[in-house]
Amino acid sequence: MYQDLAEYYDEIYSYKDYAAEAGKVIALIKSNLKTGGNKLLDAACGTGKHIGYFKQHYDVTGVDISDKMLGLAKERYPDVQFHQADMMNMKLGRDFDVLVCLFSSIAHLKTYKNLNKALKNFSRHLKKGGVLIIEPFIEPDKYIAGALFADMVNRPELKITRMNISKRKKDIATLDFHWLIGTPKNISYYRDRHEVGLFDIEKFKKLMAEAGFDAAFLKDGLLKDRGLFLGIKN
Ligand SMILES: C[S@@+](CC[C@H](N)C(=O)[O-])C[C@H]1O[C@@H](n2cnc3c(N)ncnc32)[C@H](O)[C@@H]1O
């Protein structure tokens, strides 16, 4: 989805209220940040839809592994610095006051080993007293296999149906999306499969602590059932 279907990403997630989400994240930053600085890194920023709101308050940099997603973000905000990198081993050569990683992007790391690498790398990119906010995917106990999902776009010149049945193998969820994309020229079928990690909250917090954060999990997050991890670099 983040490469060949990147141009449809914002369409399929048009139900998301990025303004409200960014507002909640900014309020959380304001009540926790003690560095006095304003440099914010959006890790796995995708097409950059939170960035428009963050940049009204912070000096923002975006990172993503997908050149296609970044291309769309750059088009949207030519004044923002973007880097193509893997959040596990990015080396931006400077530190930030705030690092956010939103909309379950962290789950793409799949394993605790990779999560550990990313958290340590996030820590290396943050100043002491800096704020880390991560929106995870669903907890292992709450993820239900065998549920049917559908998202639709219904505009005059673009129709999309994306369906999947949730699957899991232990603590890896498979999101096996079937897409039908219609324009007045053509109707195409695509299959787009992602394996994502179902991370336990206590294990996640333990890894955050080991990476140098005072860690908390806030149940009331941006989307239902996801929550937010909040870390303060110690
Ligand atoms: C669900 S999208 C979220 C994008 C954006 N944060 C948002 O809220 O719309 C997940 C993003 O994570 C990116 N991603 C996946 N693995 C990554 C990695 N290891 N390093 C950096 N970005 C990654 C994908 O390319 C994709 O843009």
State the pLDDT at residue 1: 77
**Alpha carbons 142 and 225: distance in angstroms, whole number:** 8
Q: Which of 102, 101, 137, 97 is nearest to 119 (CA)?
A: 101
- One domain for residues 11 and 114: yes
| Closest approach atom of ligand 1 to CA 86 | 20
| Site residues for ligand 1, CB cut-off 6 Å | 2, 44-46, 49-50, 64-66, 69, 86-88, 102-105, 108
- 31 Cα: distance to centroid of ligand 1 (angstroms): 26
Q: Are residues 191 and 217 in the same domain?
A: no
Entry pTM: 0.97
Please tell me the distance from the alpha carbon of residue 119 to that of residue 172, in angstroms, as a whole number. Answer: 19
Q: Is the domain of 20 the same as that of 131?
A: yes
Same-domain pairing of 79 and 135: yes
Question: Candidates 47, 105, 194, 226: which one to mutate for ligand 1, based on the most atoms within 8 Å of Cβ?
Answer: 105
For residue 1, being part of any structural domain is answered with no
How many residues does the structure list for the chain?
A: 234
Expressed in angstroms and rounded, the spacing between residue 123 Cα and the centre of ligand 1 is: 19
Tell me the C-alpha distance between 60 and 67, whole Å: 18
DSSP, res 3 = S
CATH number of 17's domain:
3.40.50.150
Residue 225's pLDDT is 87
Q: What is the rounded distance in angstroms from the CA atom of residue 107 to the CA atom of residue 103?
A: 9
Write the CATH number for 171.
2.20.130.10
Q: Which domain holds residue 181?
A: 145-197
One digit per residue, the tens of pLDDT, for the chain of length 234 reads 788 899 999 999 999 999 999 999 999 999 999 999 999 999 999 999 999 999 999 999 999 999 999 999 999 999 999 999 999 999 999 999 999 999 999 999 999 999 999 999 999 999 999 999 999 999 999 999 999 999 999 999 999 999 999 999 999 999 999 999 999 999 999 999 999 999 999 999 999 999 999 999 999 999 988 999 999 999
Under 8 Å between Cβ of 79 and 99: no
Return the structure tokens found at 70: 């970044």
Taking the CA of residue 2 as reference, the ligand 1 atom at the shortest distance is: 25
Instruction: State whether 103 and 190 are in the same domain.
Output: no
Query: Domain check: are 151 and 192 in the same one?
Result: yes
**188 close to 180: Cβ distance less than 8 angstroms:** yes
Both 124 and 50 in a single domain?
Answer: yes
Per the structure, how many domains does the chain have? 2
Distance between Cα 184 and ligand 1 center (Å): 30
